[in-house]
Structure 1
Amino acid sequence: MRVWALFFAFLYINIYGQRYTSTWYNIDNGLPQSSAKAIVKDRYGFIWISTENGLVRYDGFSFITFNNFKVNNLHFGEFIGDPLLDSITVLNNFHENKIIIKNRFPKLARLSQRDKGSFSKGQDFAHRVANNIITSNFYNDIHYFIQLKNSTYRFAEKDAVIYKNEKGYETRISIPFSNKELNNIFVFNEVLFINDLKKGKTYSIDKGKLFVSEKPTLFNDPHTKIYWQQITNQTFIINRDNIYIVENKGNEPSLRFLVKYDEIGNHSYCSMFYDTDFNKLYLGTLNNGLNVLRLSDFYVAKKEADFSNNIYYASLPSGKNTIIAEDGTEFGKEGIVNRYRFGSNDNYPMMYNNSGDILIRKRNSIVRFYKNSGYKKKDSTFIKKGFESLIKNGDLYGATFSDFSSTQLHIFRNDLFSKPDFVYNFKSFVNTFFQYSDGKILVGTSDGLYSVVLGSSTITPILKNTHVKSIIRTKDNLIWVMTNKDGFYLFKDQKLIKMPNDRGNYLQSAHDILEDQHGAYWISSNNGLFKVPKRQLLQYVENRNTPVFYYRFTKRDGFLTNEFNGSSQPNASVLENGEFVFPSMDGFVFFNPARIKTYYPDRKQIYIERVKIGNSETRYFRNVLDLQNDYKTAEVFIDIPYFSDLENLYIATKISGQESSEWEQIPAGKELKYTISNLSPGDYVLRVKMLISPDGEFEEKLIRFKIQPFFYQTVLFRVSVSIIVLIIIMGIVQLTTNILRIRNKALKQIVHNKNSELKETSLNLEVVKSDLQKETEYQKKLVETISHDITTPIRFIAMLSQKLYESDDVELQKKYFDSIYKSSEQLYQFTLNLKEYTELYKAKNIFEEHEYIINRILETKKKLFCEIAKERGTIIINEAKEHVYSKVNESILTAIIHNILDNAVKNTFQGTIALGITENKNTTVLSVTDTGAGMSAEQIVVYLNLFKNPKLETPSFKGKGLGLHMVIHLVKKINAEINFKHNHPTGTIVDITLNKN
């Protein structure tokens, strides 16, 4: 019989809780949808999350969403299968489709009846239970079963559980149990546990055998919530906001406390997963996304009262696991332990004297708190004005005095401070001193480091123009010099050796350094806490080319601030229980260095298999990457399941092949990738090396890729070119042999060429002659056109001038003057556009680039002829009200309307001339209607035939009808149509039809 005593021995345990940092992920920063219904880790180290919009792979810094499956339902549920066998299965809602995750990639698979989580047998339905989420509901009218590797538990009867072994034999186990209590079950190592929270009992069934425990435990406590996930074999106990995980301990289950999380009840958590490799707890919700708790073994002790000052520079170890701050507060890692009435003192060094009393400087005095009184009694010793700092090193005490122009350092052999044993003067402020040998001390000032021989006036500079902050001896007797902005140094053999900086240059301002039991240094700075193997620093001392790899801890690891503090005295403490304490700008940081893990990638979990070429989708490749010659950029992704701070990753890449490069650091970001660009065609090898241990060990991966050449870069092309060159050379040789033959034919060829040149010259002369004739004819046409168009206005002005001369009537003269002015103004405007007339017959573009309003042409011509028409008793009316647009050459259309309106004015007395526009879908019709003498039927036929005659290109501008001949020519030029018809009872209607297309 298996004994479960150890399992049931867990009562309410008083245990210190781990700190944590919380990070939320949802649809705004990585997830395709704000539900995380199930969480599992595959055998390759990647976290998989099931959501309502696909599956998500998480590698610690980026999310890759897979939702392009050929299915209509992307609402996925719980994971089943076995990650160790590289087989993780997930079904969507209603078990319509099955996705299997294998080899780090999900794909659609055939769904079988065995995969489904529920089935019917007659009228009974049975649902598989693979996890027990906090918010799950179970019903008594539904049958449930748990499928184990070789056996099955069925819950089909009230007050009974049916066990079926690998041979198919069933055992009925009677216990007071109903399906609604399935919320309180879990399976551990093939053993079923059922907890009765009301009666405080726990039932365990091992291979059909029942064991009952009535001991009160966290498992059967009424305040307990249980979460169990079969695929991960993890069970969590949540009790009063404390989260525990069930673990193996000597092949028996035990509880391990993880964290106290006060917000566990504030969200609809439906999935949980604890990553033991990186000490992270994943909490998935139904609607708020994924919450990742980064558990920490760092503890921050501070005063919690409002407006408390938690900026500390100095402290002293007190007892086994506490420290005393300069204000008398005694801290343990969980907070304040005791308070001593030290009062208000300076926030700088405090120290023990040889009797264990505490000495603190307060303005110009030294306050002494006596150990034998429990630090309750004190006295004060006045030193003198200008007292700046109190320093202790070994058995020597130091006091500095400043007058703002120089500093005095007084050295005392005892703590009576009556008379100094040695006095030294420095031009800059003295921060610290350190006795490194008998009769010799190092003095650190604001402008450098000096060596002083006690009892002598010899002061030897060692380092200049550097602010030395403190000097520290580690337990291995090495002496370290910490500076303000110049890093830290090792003092060895009377020389300073500068240590290399970290990648972020945060160690430029290092404070304290402690050595742990495992050969590592811990260094605090203004931006983080660093850990580095001592061996690497000492190897660097011997060989400056030896790399040093620092591991940086930040707020994400559990601090409240990244900024630590330091002063002239070593302020970091090593407690009796082995814990380290560093002062910071927000409390004291306690930790056991043996429990603080550093995380490095697993050498077997580095994958280079994804590439994004240009703007295309990311695709996968195996072994060899083939790039076409027209590629612009190719981003090769480096996939690493690494769930710690990316700043601690050391990744470098190098290209070798036809073109080569040096090792190049890959910057840490949301994606780790190397971009291939501007490489000539050929075969290459991409080398990727990664730091995988604190000892400086690297793992290197090789990826071969090939860039296809252009056709002119291929061997075939080069061979072809070589053959062509040989043919050309042979042709040249053959040509050389024919030179004499060619010379014999030269005279005949010259004569032939001369004859050809004469013929060509003759033809050119004919062309020039023809062009001159056309130019002469064009100029003649132009003069006739302009003369025709301005004849009527000028004749009208001349007539008015004669009437003005003959009339003595002042009013009538005023009328004539007004008509002459208006006609002259319009004639002037017309002459401004004469340049456009020069282009009428040369113009090749019959369309404008932009549309214009036809109405303005009608209005302009109306103003030009209105005074002439008025003199004849005729009224010109513009009936076009709506704006009509056209792209027909504006100059040509203006000339057409000008001549038609001119004819109408000449032939109309005491009548009306109407200008109109009619717009249809494909045409625009301009009409000029007059009530004058009109055209005869014979004239209409003649002009219509003239328009329809395709051979007529250039009118004869002589005799009568000059304007209409020109109009017909211009109408044909713009591919329009003209029509003449009678206006009853008298007059003529002329329509110009413009094609919109």
Structure 2
Amino acid sequence: DAMLNNYSRPYSKRRQLNGLLFLSFLLLQLVAFPQNNQYVIRQYTSENGLPQNSVKAIKFDKSGFCWLSTESGIVRFDNNNFKHYGSDIIKGLKSERISAMMSDTAGTILAQGLDFQNIKISSSSSLYSYLPVLTDTNISFVATGYLTQTPTMDSLWQTILASKTFPVQKSPGGLKNGDTYLFYGKDAWFIRRSTAIKLKPYETEPIGSMVINDYYYLQIWPGNRITSWDNGIPQAGQIEGDIVSNKSFLKGNFNALWCEQGAFIYAGGNLYELSYKNGKVDSRCVVSDLNLDMPLCIAYRPDLNTYFIGTGTQGLFAIKIADFTYARIPPESGPENYYTIGKTANDNIIVTNAIVQPGNTSFYMPLYNGRSRAMYTDSADRVYYESEFQLFRYNARTGIIDKNMLSLDNRLMAIVPVAEDGTLLLCTHSSLYKTTREGKLVWQQKFPTDISVVSLMPLKNGEYLLATTYGVKWYNIKTHTISRSILDSFSVRNFYLDQQNRLWIGTDGKGSFLFTNNELYPLPPGPRGAFSSIHSFIDDNKGNFWLPTNNGLYKVPANALADFATTRKNPFFCFSFNTANGLRTNEFNGGANPNFQWLQDSALILPSIDGLIKFYPNKLASDLPGERIFIDEMSIDGQPVVLANIKESILLKPTFQTLNIRIACPYFGNKEDLNLEYKIGKDVDQWTPVPSSGIISINRLPAGDYALVIRKAGSNETMPNGNISIEIVVTPFFYQTGWFLAGIVLLLVGLGYLYYRRRLAKLEKEKLKIEKIVELRTEELNTAIAQLESSETALKQSNHVKEQIIATVLHDIKSPLFSMRMAGKSLISNWNKSDAENLEQVTSLHQLIGELGRFTDQFFSWAASQQEHFKVKKTRFSLQEIFGDIEALFKEILQFNNNSFSISHTHIECYTDKEILVLILRNLVDNANKNTENGIISIQATATSMALEIKISDTGKGLNAFQIENFLNRDKAVKNGRMGSVIILEMLEKIGGELQVSSESGKGAVFTICLKAKDIFG
């Protein structure tokens, strides 16, 4: 670009010479990546679970279990526990010492004891793991290659044995197609089906013999002399490739090892893999610098890139080729504790004082960037970074470093190019700079003093995200203002905005978060709490995040992680990568920009506290653990259960104490990826981790049906082999069964029936006696009863009318008479006062007398209503009018208790018997006044589409539930002398009304008269 052209000024000859000398210096400083792979080696001996240290054969069955042949018997390994199979498990086994263990082409494993008993080991098709059993299968065991049934070879061997006077051991080699090679001294045979072809015997016995490429046989002598056999035809030659320079091999000090996945030679501490093509044998060193004594057998798992080697005295070795490689950095570059990583157009990696090239070479470069936390490389491969608060620039094409281009006020944390004008934004802890690419300052803006910025991310329209020690801030570069902030109490380490506009946030050890749709969600803590410090959210554009942390590297499906964070429902699977995969340390570094780099060949470069890590994410095996979960052992109250006897459910007696179930899952990948958990109950969602021993202990359970579900953590119902389910039935005690309860019911019914029959017979006898007496008296009583009933009805009606008249007179006349007495007394005591005051008293007395007269009329109206021929007289009248009459009548009475009226004005007109309604209202107001002091008595009328409601409420002492019940019950009111309520209820019944009462003790009462909607006008 133009800026670059301006910068590319002519150099002096001296400077050009210095550049040539510098390039020469770099060539001398080149250091290669380590050419030998790094390994993760685990050794198993009798000190950590292996029953015996002599491992003579290793085979994997179809279920994934690893089977070992040892001096103490057959041992099964599932990458967690060793299980020994001796005569206590294999019924009928005479000797536990195994002389051979091979597999046929179908994958069935067969072992043979010293007494020639054959043991079959197969895979299981049920929930329960397979147990080795004795078999009568006639198998011709081989020393190398595949098992086969070869009667011809057995017949030949019997002939050889008959000619010998001392014990000999046959060592045939079986090819995958069933052909067999048999060599012993002068006896050499190629056997195909029933045909035995005599071969030319060897002059000297080879050091090693083995099958190669499944269909060929190889013999090896010292000095790298070999004979390869193809269809019985020999071809002499030598092994080519890496092994030709191995001195131990050339001297004949080596071990030939074979397994279904390949032919190998161990010599001089190195393991070589052999291959056969076009009559030539080639070798490749796959593992070096081992220290194995007497290696006897091998098994290779290509899916795990792991070699399992059994030895005579050192036990079992599991050697995994590391998934990660490390650049070998020149010592003068300093400690390999890296943070920010730069990259050029040709994939040169820039780290602390070193350049790592794609050709697996690195060289020292004095960049003085040991504390740098930010880098940026432009299109001309000029790398900008900070050195001791100064902006530096390294030209990767010329090797020239421009120093002290700009002084900075703090540590540089991010460099962001501005596409519009070609400038750079430099973000330090405390300021934001805008500069040209030559370091000329355009402007500087200080951040608020209460925050320290650690990262900068451009958004749109001049808005940037700031990761700070006090949360995430939305920063407008045009106005230099912060418009929004989240996580203010967290020190934010990094963030990443994905294509779905989801913001992923990592903090400094306080957890990680997802911000989406304006909602903030915490991420789960992750395996071993690793997600508390996520250094980067690395998107591989295949739907996954690679998450370097302080406790390992993890691969997580991004959408599954987001779904779990927002809903906390669907589990997600997290792949773990740690020291078990070849990392030097589980602790990665962050807090820098950028702190990872993708290379053009899809490699990913990450910084750690111990080296620069390189790996290929798309080549790492990260499939879900697909091996099945098996029930390995089971015992009830310490007594073993024969798994073969279990059909569909596990039946437990009600008295059982403990059910122990041992679980096995033969997963040989990273142990962090297989976490088994279980739950008991069909409607239970609480999962418990399975202990490392694999034993699930279930203590006493109530009678019932249960489902024991065991699953791989993070799996779901659709995942193949993700879980197993076992039905457990706890039988009830006999007295808890349905039959027992049914028997008890039948017994009680029978006893009840017998008692009923005896009682019925007795009652029949007594009935006959009584019937005779009753018949004599019935006629006399019937006549008397009829006369008494007629008299009683008339008498009750008369007495009832009289009692109600008396009660009403006493009840309703008492209030106006009392008011008249009080008015007269007041008139006498105030006689000497002014005529106006006396006139007021006289007027009040006159009003009371008038009201008393009206009461008399109403009383006689009520009395008339008690007569047989009484009829309700409905008229149309205004409720406000009768409310005013009530107020006039009780105004003086209310003053005695220091009460007052509150009457809501209404335009409602009513169509009913006015006198009866007034009588009801007056009784309710009088009752409210009696129960209220220094309060308010309110009257209010409301009309709805359903009814007319007139409410009389007070602020008095109120009624409890018992008092309300007595008030509304006519019979109880009569007994308690509450004639007022009796009058109210009877009068309401005549005009078709209802009364409702609500009250709270100490807060007054509300009496509601409900009339039908047809009685409303207005």
- Give the TM interval when normalised to the shorter protein: 0.5 to 0.7
Distance, in Å, in 2 between the alignment partners of 1:719 and 1:163 is: 78
| Partner Cα distance (1:151, 1:647) in 2 | 44
Q: Secondary structure at the match of 1:466?
A: coil
Does the 8 Å CA contact 1:301/1:587 hold for their aligned counterparts? yes
* TM-score, normalised with respect to structure 2: 0.62
Correspondence list, 1:127-166, <5 A: 144-148=171-175, 150-158=178-186, 161-166=188-193
Partner of 1:269: 295
Tell me the distance in 1 between the aligned counterparts of 2:132 and 2:391.
71
Give the CA deviation at 1:563: 0.8
User: 2:717 and 2:222 mapped to 1: Cα distance?
Assistant: 51
Within a 5 Å distance, the mapping from 1:694-705 to structure 2 comes to: 697=719, 699-705=722-728
State whether residues 211 and 217 of structure 2, in contact with CA within 8 Å, keep that contact through their aligned partners in structure 1: yes
Partner letter of residue 232 of structure 1? E
Query: Shift of the alpha carbon at 1:186?
Result: 3.3
**2:884 aligned partner:** none
Determine the C-alpha separation between the residues in 2 that align with 1:177 and 1:18. 40
Answer yes or no: is 1:40 the counterpart of 2:53.
no
Query: Does structure 1 conserve the Cα–Cα contact (< 8 Å) formed by 2:497 and 2:504?
Result: yes
CA distance change for structure 1 residues 113 and 508 in 2, over 3 Å: closer, same or farther? closer
- Cα distance in 2, alignment partners of residues 320 and 105 from structure 1: 58
Distance in 2, Cα, partners of 1:245 & 1:310 = 34
Which amino acid is the alignment partner of residue 90 of structure 1?
Answer: A
Where does residue 354 of structure 2 map in the other structure? 329
**Secondary structure of the residue that 1:170 maps to in structure 2?**
strand
Aligned-residue sequence identity (percent) comes to 21
TM-superposed deviation, 1:444: 1.4
Q: Which SS does the other structure have where 1:43 is aligned?
A: coil
Letter in 1 for 2:701: L
| In 1: Cα distance, 2:715 partner to 2:226 partner | 45
Please tell me whether the aligned partners of residues 533 and 695 of structure 1 are also in contact (alpha carbons under 8 angstroms): no
Task: Show CA shifts across 1:799-858 (max 9, x none).
Answer: xxxxxxxxxxxxxxxxxxxxxxxxxxxxxxxxxxxxxxxxxxxxxxxxxxxxxxxxxxxx
Q: Name the SS for the 2:53 alignment partner.
A: coil
* Structure 1 counterpart of 2:340, from 308, 314, 322: 314
Tell me whether 1:440 sits opposite 2:460 in the alignment: no
The equivalences for 1:93-104 within 5 A come to 93=114, 95-103=115-123, 104=130
Residue 527 of structure 1: aligned partner: 551
What is the distance in 2 between the residues matched to 1:371 and 1:150?
62
Alignment of 1:616-627 (within 5 A): 616-617=639-640, 619-621=642-644, 622-624=646-648, 625-627=650-652
Q: Summarize deviations over 1:675-704 as a string: whole Å, max 9, x none.
A: 433322233333344479899835443322
Which range is displaced more, 417-426 or 299-308?
Answer: 299-308
Structure 2 residue 707 is the aligned partner of structure 1 residue 685: yes
1:551 aligns with 2:571: no
1:633 to 633, 651, 658: 658
Map 1:782-821 → 2, pairs under 5 A: none
Q: Against the structure 1 CA distance between its residues 122 and 37, is the aligned structure 2 distance closer, same or farther, given a 3 Å change threshold? A: closer
State the match for 2:600 in structure 1: 576
State the 1:349 CA deviation: 2.5
- 1:604-627, Cα deviation, whole Å (9 max, x unpaired): x33235323233346524443222
Deviation at 1:638, TM superposition (A): 3.1
For structure 2, list consecutive stretches of 5 or more residues without a partner in the other structure.
Answer: 1-32, 124-129, 144-153, 764-1018
Describe how 1:227-306 pairs up with structure 2 within 5 A.
232=260, 234-246=262-274, 258-260=286-288, 262-265=289-292, 267-301=293-327, 303=329
Query: What is the CA distance between 1:311 and its match in structure 2?
Result: 1.6
Measured after TM superposition, the shift of residue 735 of structure 1 is: 8.4
Displacement after TM superposition at 1:125 (Å): 6.9
- Residue aligned with 2:531, SS: helix
- Once the two structures are superposed, residues 1-36 of structure 1 have per-residue CA deviations (whole angstroms, 9 ceiling, x without a partner) of xxxxxxxxxxxxx99443221112122221212221
Change (3 A) 1:81 1:450: closer
Instruction: Report 1:91-490 matches (<5 A).
Output: 91-93=112-114, 95-103=115-123, 104-110=130-136, 121=159, 144-148=171-175, 150-158=178-186, 161-173=188-200, 176-179=202-205, 181-198=206-223, 200-213=224-237, 216-217=240-241, 223-224=248-249, 232=260, 234-246=262-274, 258-260=286-288, 262-265=289-292, 267-301=293-327, 303=329, 309-318=335-344, 320=346, 322-326=348-352, 328-331=353-356, 337-343=362-368, 345-353=370-378, 355-375=380-400, 377-381=401-405, 383=407, 386-395=409-418, 397-399=424-426, 407-412=430-435, 414=437, 416-463=439-486, 464-472=488-496, 480-489=504-513
Tell me, in whole angstroms, the C-alpha distance in 2 between the residues paired with 1:679 and 1:314.
58
Note if 1:566 corresponds to 2:590. yes
Shift of 1:541: 7.9
CA drift at 1:596: 0.9
Is the alpha carbon distance of 1:151 and 1:439 closer, same or farther for their aligned partners in structure 2, counting shifts above 3 Å?
Answer: closer
Partners of 1:410 and 1:116 in 2: CA distance: 77
- Bigger CA drift: 117-126 or 160-169? 117-126
Any unmatched runs of 5+ in structure 1? 1-13, 128-138, 741-997
What is the CA-CA distance between 1:734 and the residue it aligns to? 7.6
Task: Rate the CA distance shift 1:467–1:369 in 2: closer, same or farther, 3 A.
Answer: same
Taking the aligned partners of 2:670 and 2:107, their CA distance within structure 1 comes to 29
Q: Does the Cα contact within 8 Å between 2:34 and 2:328 map onto a contact in 1?
A: no
Instruction: Report the Cα offset of residue 550 of structure 1.
Output: 1.9
Q: Displacement of 1:58 after TM fit? A: 1.0
CA distance in 2, matches of 1:409, 1:116: 76
Aligned to 2:40: 21
Q: Which residue of 2 aligns with 1:79?
A: 101
Asked if the contact 2:37–2:287 (Cα under 8 Å) also holds between the matched residues in 1, the reply is yes
SS in structure 2 of the partner of residue 712 of structure 1: helix
Amino acid at match of 1:271: C
SS of alignment partner, residue 619 of structure 2:
coil
Contact residue 241 and residue 284 of structure 2 kept, 8 A = no
Per-residue deviation, 1:671: 3.4
Which SS does the other structure have where 1:717 is aligned?
helix
Q: Which AA in structure 1 matches 2:104? A: D
**1:602 paired residue number:** 626
State whether residues 299 and 333 of structure 1, in contact with CA within 8 Å, keep that contact through their aligned partners in structure 2: no
CA drift of 1:253 comes to: 8.1
Give, in whole Å, the separation in 1 of the partners of 2:743 and 2:518.
73
Q: Which residue of 1 is the match for residue 673 of structure 2?
A: 648
Measure, in 2, the Cα distance between the counterparts of 1:102 and 1:355. Answer: 64
**Could you tell me which residue of structure 1 aligns to residue 915 of structure 2?**
none
2:110 matches 1:89: yes
Match of 1:709 in 2: 732
2:375 and 2:594 in contact (8 A); partners too: no
TM (norm. structure 1) is 0.63
How many Å apart are 1:282 and its aligned residue? 1.0
Map 1:932-943 to 2 at 5 A.
none
In 2, Cα distance between equivalents of 1:236 and 1:450: 60
Structure-2 change in CA distance of 1:648 and 1:161 (3 Å): same
**What one-letter code is carried by the residue in structure 1 that aligns with 2:197?**
E
Note the C-alpha offset of 1:524: 0.7
Alpha carbons of structure 1 residues 173 and 321: separation in structure 2 relative to 1, 3 Å: farther
Cα distance in 1, alignment partners of residues 55 and 263 from structure 2:
18
Amino acid of the structure 1 residue aligned with 2:664:
D
**SS of the residue aligned with 1:29?**
coil
Tell me how large the CA RMSD over aligned residues is: 4.0
Is the contact between residue 500 and residue 548 of structure 1 (CA under 8 Å) also seen in structure 2?
no
TM superposition shift of 1:591: 0.2
Q: Give the Cα–Cα distance (whole angstroms) in 2 for the partners of residues 169 and 408 of structure 1.
A: 89
Summarize the Cα distance change of 1:476–1:161 in structure 2 as closer, same or farther, 3 Å threshold: farther
